[in-house]
Structure 1
Amino acid sequence: MNKKKWLSATVISSFLIGSILTGCSSGEESGSESSNGKTVVEMSGWGASPEEQELLEETLASFEEEHPDIDVEFQTISDQYMDVMKTRLIGGEAADVFYLDASEAPGLMSKGVLEPLDEYVTDDFDVDDFEQPLVDAFKQDGRTYGFPKDFSTLALFYNKKAFKEAGLSGPPKTMEELREYAKKLTVDEDGDGKPEQYGLGLAKELARQFYKLDAYGAKLVDKDGNAAFASNEAIEALQPVVDQYRKDKTSALPSDVGAGWGGEMFGQGEAAMVIEGNWAVPFLENNFADLEFGTAEVPMIKGEQATAAFPVAYVMNKESKKKDAAWELISYLTGKEGMKIWTSKGFALPTRKSVAEELGYADDEIRGALVEGASYAQPWQAGENLPTISNNFDNQFTSALLGEQPLEKALKKAEDTANQEISAGN
């Protein structure tokens, strides 16, 4: 086990200190007990909006009220979260409990730094209540290393006014329909080839494209964790994206219209449709209050429902000296009561089916499509080499979109370069 490969010496020296926010406890920063004799459980996570921070504090306060012998000290790591966490794990300074994104989970699970949680689980925890793909994202070799606290899938956001003006009564059901709808929704009134409104806002990153591969029989990585996305099947899956952008000219990147991301592009009326996650909902509601929009499940691909999922879990540090108390915290936060508080405002979606139903998200006009996708979603992860694979894909796929090289050549170059870098790092 060579933990030092995780990050460079520069990262180790630069990010040893994360900013700290003391949550709902008055306990000391370290040690097994606070001044009042309670067990102190340290928990680390990334920063959040003031509204989300308030919800977290409310959830932790509820936990402490039900567990009067435990104090929780929450530490916010504001920048370079995973670099800081890896450094602290290497140095034996990591918190007892911390957030872990699904994309980073394979790497930590394989390093032996996370505590398997299966032996802590009791019948009343109700593991079957979780959406299966979301909890599976934190399993390896038959062991469960985390339980998901929240998630988002991707869904189709569409402008109701634009649809009405184009004579479209509802969202497209298939990717083929999506492409045809985009043609009808693209508005170029002055005929200069630069539409005032594009049919679709396009996200070029692998994280927004990978879920399309499976329906074509394509793979992102092989069994050894190497890049494997340059197959004929992958080209077939992704060529329509390139063709729509280059030939149809009915889709556009946010940068094409001066927007920072798809949600902004959609809110500004530059695109009549985008495929985005739950994070777009509060953004649109807060910044574009007059926008009438709806959501639908991502259009089917070759007759199959498909979408991406981005779950985050609570995990336990293998070296924690307070594992029983740490599990009490994890089980509460990912249990029905704690999850209900945390997800009550809709900033994050509950990973438990019962909580989604109780809070009304399963039938919600906007969030219902995002919740529905959880049962069949593909979590955003692909082994330990995902950062290398993703970076090379993004660079070359962008080149193909810009017409600098054919898609086939772009994917082959990305795959070869990624695998060279993976081989050099082993």
Structure 2
Amino acid sequence: MINDEIGRRRLLQLGGLALGSAAISGCGAPAGDPGGPIAFQGWDYEPQAVEDNLARFKEQSGIEVAFTSITGSQYVQKTVAEFTAGSEPDALYVYDDSMAGWADAGYLQPIDGLPGVDEVYQAIFPGNADAMTHDGKRYCLPYYTDCSALLYNADLLDKAGLPGPPKTLEELTDQAITLRERGILKYSIGFAAQLSDSYWGWFWALLYGSGGTMFDDQLQPIMDSTDPVPKELLSWLDDAVRVSKIIDPASVQMGPTPVDEALSSGQYAFTFASRYGARAYNDPKKSKIAGKMKMALIPGLGGPGQGSVLTTRMYGLSANTERRDDAIKLLTYLGGFDGDGKPYTAKFWFLNYGLGFAFEELAKDPEVIAELKRWGDPDVYAQLSATAKSRSVVVKPWYSEFETELQKGIQRILTAQDDPGSVVAALATSARDLEKKYA
């Protein structure tokens, strides 16, 4: 259980506004119930765990919730279609990739001033708070947060006589070649490069790890002008496909699940993935390489890695919900504090599934630290947290369309159909055209 002192302190901060146990104890059906439970919607990650937690919320609040789970690859399209048709849920999961666009489209309502919101924002890391704020307004509460890491099979590196994980992409190339020359693996690197609805964290992590960006502080594209790193990174990928041939060409056809299966069977030595992936790879019930998958900093171009990419998945409130009071109680329970004043849901997701948390106090929680030591390196985990940053361009309503073009361009590199210079030029043109389209 979460430390009792944290819970007592949080209750004092909340002042009974959100879900203080005294305020909700003994409540029945919510006041003003229009005739049904709160409609809540999310993608299909561990839906039974969500249902179990919603049952706990009902016990504390007396509020019933009907949860709908949607396949992750279809979540954005289906949710947008619901908003367009006026059949959207009261509350829902939100990608940081979609938040600004959905806010500008009028799908989400700001939550500033609603009960419990200030307390949550005071308790979370600034980067997560920034990710959920658009045009000076707060729109969401945190579901989970994470950043990408280099995950590597230490056993395979030992067999090849390699001293440890690579610190640079050049070292990664050399290690992958060594693994092939010593007959251990044909392709040492695999990652999910199938076109998706969200984003390719591995590419953004390599970009930030190499000290690069694609947009300046005014969010103008500079990948074709003042910042050479995007082109250089694409050149490294191009070399890894055409010359050194260290990346599995099947990556362009694989989503996360096939990649997980391949890694868990020892098919690859390296991948770039969210830190929580290490938990499943080191689970003997799910993986043949349990205990062998280690976590390292993202390697950089020409030098040690300089950072990674941060993501924040969120809970949002539909603009047209007729259940705002009850729905914000649900959001503050899921994305904030439960009836005992504790960040129960955030800790639940970490302890049981390894999902990162936005609450600063959990980083010092003994149970959290003990759990992390089972499958990851706390020092590396903390270093990644300290250096990871969000994609600034996600605040643009056209970001998801740009991400689609980015993925298509990278796929053309991975399939040897285009050159880095052409892809970078096309991306810059796409960003400028999208800005004009949405002006």
Task: Give the TM-score normalised by structure 1.
Answer: 0.77
| Alignment of structure 1 residues 2-401 onto 2, 5 Å | 32-33=32-33, 40-48=37-45, 52-68=46-62, 70-78=63-71, 80-120=74-114, 122=116, 125-187=119-181, 189=183, 196-202=185-191, 204=193, 206-214=200-208, 218-221=212-215, 228-231=222-225, 232-255=228-251, 261-277=258-274, 278-279=276-277, 281-282=279-280, 285=283, 286-291=285-290, 292-300=292-300, 302-303=303-304, 305-335=306-336, 336-346=343-353, 348-356=355-363, 357=365, 358-360=367-369, 361=371, 363-366=373-376, 368=378, 369-370=380-381, 372-379=383-390, 382=394, 383-401=396-414
For 1:379 and 1:282, the matched residues in 2 are separated by 25
Runs (5+) with no aligned partner, structure 2:
1-27, 195-199, 337-342
Between 320-329 and 415-424, the greater mean CA deviation after superposition = 415-424
Q: 1:210 to 1:185 in 2, by over 3 A?
A: same
For 1:150 and 1:272, the matched residues in 2 are separated by 27
Q: CA offset at residue 134 of structure 1?
A: 2.6
For 1:402 and 1:349, the matched residues in 2 are separated by 33
Instruction: Give the secondary structure class of the aligned counterpart of 1:345.
Output: helix
The Cα offsets for residues 54-92 of structure 1, whole Å up to 9 and x where unpaired, read as 321222122222213x22222223472222222332333
The Cα offsets for residues 263-300 of structure 1, whole Å up to 9 and x where unpaired, read as 33323433211111224642663443345221223235
Between 142-151 and 208-217, the greater mean CA deviation after superposition = 208-217
For 1:268 and 1:60, the matched residues in 2 are separated by 35
The Cα offsets for residues 94-123 of structure 1, whole Å up to 9 and x where unpaired, read as 222110011111201222332222212548
What is the root-mean-square deviation in Å for CA atoms of aligned residues? 3.6
For 1:312 and 1:258, the matched residues in 2 are separated by 23
Q: 1:221 to 1:352 in 2, by over 3 A?
A: same
Q: As a proportion of its length, which structure holds more helix?
A: 2
8 Å Cα contact 1:393/1:415 also seen in 2? no
Q: 1:344 to 1:325 in 2, by over 3 A?
A: same
Q: 1:321 to 1:366 in 2, by over 3 A?
A: same
Instruction: Give the secondary structure class of the aligned counterpart of 1:244.
Output: helix
The Cα offsets for residues 373-397 of structure 1, whole Å up to 9 and x where unpaired, read as 2343233563222333223233333
Q: Amino acid of the residue matched to residue 324 of structure 2?
A: K
Which residue of 2 is the match for residue 406 of structure 1? 419
Between 82-91 and 97-106, the greater mean CA deviation after superposition = 82-91
Instruction: Give the secondary structure class of the aligned counterpart of 1:161.
Output: helix
Instruction: Give the secondary structure class of the aligned counterpart of 1:82.
Output: helix
8 Å Cα contact 2:143/2:335 also seen in 1? yes
Instruction: Give the secondary structure class of the aligned counterpart of 1:314.
Output: strand
Runs (5+) with no aligned partner, structure 1:
1-26, 190-194
8 Å Cα contact 1:200/1:274 also seen in 2? yes
8 Å Cα contact 1:95/1:320 also seen in 2? yes
Q: CA offset at residue 143 of structure 1?
A: 1.4
For 1:303 and 1:255, the matched residues in 2 are separated by 25
Instruction: Give the secondary structure class of the aligned counterpart of 1:43.
Output: strand
Higher relative contact order (CA 8 A, sep 6+): 2
8 Å Cα contact 1:306/1:378 also seen in 2? yes
Q: 1:289 to 1:34 in 2, by over 3 A?
A: farther
% identical aligned pairs? 21
For 2:118 and 2:127, the matched residues in 1 are separated by 21
Q: Amino acid of the residue matched to residue 196 of structure 1?
A: L
Q: CA offset at residue 313 of structure 1?
A: 0.4
Instruction: Give the secondary structure class of the aligned counterpart of 1:103.
Output: helix
Instruction: Give the secondary structure class of the aligned counterpart of 1:270.
Output: coil
Instruction: Give the secondary structure class of the aligned counterpart of 1:115.
Output: coil
